[in-house]
Structure 1
């Protein structure tokens, strides 16, 4: 018995010693790496006040100039590591994406829906992303061109007919919403569409408001509207199932999907992803088209060059009597470069949030588990090393493809926006009909940028539109 006891003690001692050595080794491993340089600001609030008391881009650029391309801060209640180089963005979003997860405030997840694909990673995310990508692939969206043209022309006609100035960004949001509805549901019954739009507007209004359940607040109203949206979408889904319609739109893809276990998506999963797609499609697309109009307005010579390119297509289509084709939208090199440069200059998605799921080492620095990680797309897009004279609007810089990972207007990696081709198609179609049939002028003297949260021209670019006489279109 004594021998057995001694052996047990020896085994226990050795196992304890090995455990201590392992911990010590791990400790030494992580002690080799230090946190990135930077400031964590005041207790609790960090540097949130500094961020929101100025243009956020100035905040990030000042930090980068002082600390370099990787630095730490504390904003919105979270310790963060900021990354301002193409290599670092690729590290987080592509090559080592498994070490990071998407992260959003719970208040926003509650409004969009917890099953929306951009809240997830792994198998579920991959399956849903493929579904959305297939729904928005070129071979699918090219069939939507006649309907998108109808929406664009109707919108422009209504602006011109009003004879008054409009908030360009707000009107572009409505246009992008209509295109989003088209891509998800195809042609929808008017009653359903009006109910969807009414309640979606309330959710949209409350999305960036202070999250509180106090009755009457924008957030509480948004929560109630989101519940109504669930019921409305439930009715639409049930109707589609009862009619056994095999539509090729996004809803059709969702309804026909089965995973490897022959499991279908639940109605709640479908509803959350519909709302998610609408959110992803609306503000970003509306923002970039608004910026395109501003940049063209501010450069008459560029506007005339774009108009000449579009008039050649207009004339080919018998004075605009024939609809645009997919091939024609692929043959607008200057207009396409204008859209690309607008995406770079405005950098609608200035950064993205990730969270380290383990302790991560990058270039000798430690990114602790649980810390937020933010690749700064705007800093990269405005880096003179990659884009000379970055504050100048110069579409010619896209005559040559940008260096890899220096231009990421739709993100990068498995969480990049799957609807980027639809967004660009929508912009090209609207520009075509705008410059060939209309004129516009900005009616506000205010310059600068406002954030809500996406960057848009001040006051949403108030502008007046009018129909151009036929004899002036040549």
Structure 2
């Protein structure tokens, strides 16, 4: 009998495809490095990697289960694959500190493909080549000198008005109220935003963006990334409209961030309308979402720990007692005297871990603890795992501001990174701490605040409150 060559050829084709698939899966699961041995770990499923496990929510402030399980199994440095990319995760303070000091030499700034797709070339420019320019600009507008000379009284007035508004309501949803307040203030400082003219709460578009930022970049209606994209479009249009208005009406200059960048266009060719739009958008994102979440967590922790509030009241009542005029605004010297308040802020930042991770991409092969990280891989520094390490912080999940009284700066240099590290340490760190300190001052000297409902934390990996967090504010 003559064999059926068509059938035989088809069978060969299927066999070849099967072998190719198995070869691909084997290579995926067992990547190699020419210059050493990779850290231990698992690459998960082809393409998807361990992305699904990474995004499984954790209902606490504890280290996400994805990290804690793998740290226990593989150690503080392990490999995985997230959103289609090979990643080395670091929960090791020494290695993380080393990596954050090596930007431009061994690593470069990096973010997810979702981020890069949303920001495009303007995003690369804003967060890469012209970082020094942006950092100088931010420090000039929001750094310690600007805070002392101008922003301190403005920030305090913002809190005075906000808390009076909260007191007039039956209850408030803290996170969204803070997002709206922060967006209105920061957007006004950046590009003269006037909330009364917008017709909607624009801070909600930032929230949509944050939710989709670390998702798989599929721009399909109904997906997190699509909602993220739509939210970004609205905000970028708002900023671009402000740019055009300044050009049409130069007499309306406000001396703000936007005016400065428009003026700098004359000297720096890298500044374009796109660059300005994405930079302002990035600053809004970095400030509004992170600070509204951090302050919400802080308020929740204070409600749950009245003995901490009692100690705060002592410190702030002493500040009022020493004032000639108790109605006078807080001075910079008084802010700097808030020792226990700063311990509360540091402890809140340590526990909140609002930033899900710090990402860098290797530009050379790197050796770490006998392992190698290949060029082109992403390194994911996990602040939560570093901040909640029991070897550094005794009983790490307890809210204990007093721990900072006995911790030397050298002990936390590598173990406390709420504002990043290396050359990219957040230029708005002092702004953030002042914002929290002024919030605490107003709360403990004038008001009582109690939980109404909600407050269940969801970390996925960003922090959110699934059912909101509602409180009632009354006079003290």
Partners of 1:113 and 1:80 in 2: how far apart?
22
Deviation at 1:271, TM superposition (A): 1.2
Partners of 2:95 and 2:102 in 1: how far apart?
10
Correspondences of 1:366-381 after superposition (within 5 Å) = 366-381=372-387
Correspondences of 1:176-187 after superposition (within 5 Å) = 176-185=182-191
Please list the CA deviations of residues 301-332 of structure 1 after superposition, one character each: whole Å capped at 9, or x if unmatched: 11111012112223444674211122211111
2:108 matched to which residue of 1?
101
Instruction: Specify every segment of 5 or more residues in structure 2 that has no aligned partner in the other structure, as ranges.
Output: 1-31
2:306 matched to which residue of 1?
300
1:15 matched to which residue of 2?
none
2:422 matched to which residue of 1?
413
1:435 matched to which residue of 2?
444
Taking structure 1 as the reference length, the TM-score comes to 0.82
Please list the CA deviations of residues 377-404 of structure 1 after superposition, one character each: whole Å capped at 9, or x if unmatched: 1111111222222122111222242432
Taking structure 2 as the reference length, the TM-score comes to 0.82
Q: Secondary structure at the match of 1:59?
A: helix
2:173 matched to which residue of 1?
167
2:431 matched to which residue of 1?
422
Deviation at 1:130, TM superposition (A): 2.0
The answer on 1:395 being equivalent to 2:401 is yes
The answer on 1:121 being equivalent to 2:123 is no
The answer on 1:78 being equivalent to 2:85 is yes
Asked if 1 retains the 8 angstrom alpha-carbon contact of 2:180 and 2:203, the reply is no
Partners of 1:138 and 1:287 in 2: how far apart?
23
2:208 matched to which residue of 1?
205
The change in CA–CA distance for 1:208 and 1:366 in structure 2 (over 3 A counts) is: same
Q: Secondary structure at the match of 2:402?
A: helix
The change in CA–CA distance for 1:235 and 1:86 in structure 2 (over 3 A counts) is: same
Correspondences of 1:446-461 after superposition (within 5 Å) = 447=456, 449-451=457-459, 453-456=461-464, 459-461=467-469
1:276 matched to which residue of 2?
282
Deviates more, 1:304-313 or 1:317-326: 317-326
Please list the CA deviations of residues 149-208 of structure 1 after superposition, one character each: whole Å capped at 9, or x if unmatched: 2221221112211113x22122221222133124324x654555x26x645533532442
Deviates more, 1:312-321 or 1:279-288: 312-321
Partners of 1:45 and 1:88 in 2: how far apart?
27
The change in CA–CA distance for 1:43 and 1:221 in structure 2 (over 3 A counts) is: closer
**2:65 equivalent among 34, 54, 58:** 58
Instruction: Specify every segment of 5 or more residues in structure 1 that has no aligned partner in the other structure, as ranges.
Output: 1-28, 469-474
Asked if 1 retains the 8 angstrom alpha-carbon contact of 2:362 and 2:378, the reply is yes
CA RMSD of aligned residues (A): 2.9
Partners of 1:285 and 1:224 in 2: how far apart?
23
Asked if 1 retains the 8 angstrom alpha-carbon contact of 2:50 and 2:80, the reply is yes
The change in CA–CA distance for 1:105 and 1:385 in structure 2 (over 3 A counts) is: closer
2:48 matched to which residue of 1?
45
Partners of 2:202 and 2:443 in 1: how far apart?
30
Please list the CA deviations of residues 1-31 of structure 1 after superposition, one character each: whole Å capped at 9, or x if unmatched: xxxxxxxxxxxxxxxxxxxxxxxxxxxx964
The change in CA–CA distance for 1:32 and 1:370 in structure 2 (over 3 A counts) is: closer
Partners of 1:75 and 1:216 in 2: how far apart?
22
Please list the CA deviations of residues 39-66 of structure 1 after superposition, one character each: whole Å capped at 9, or x if unmatched: 2223333222333335362221221122
Asked if 2 retains the 8 angstrom alpha-carbon contact of 1:230 and 1:268, the reply is no
**2:475 equivalent among 458, 467, 470:** 467
Aligned residues between the structures: 433
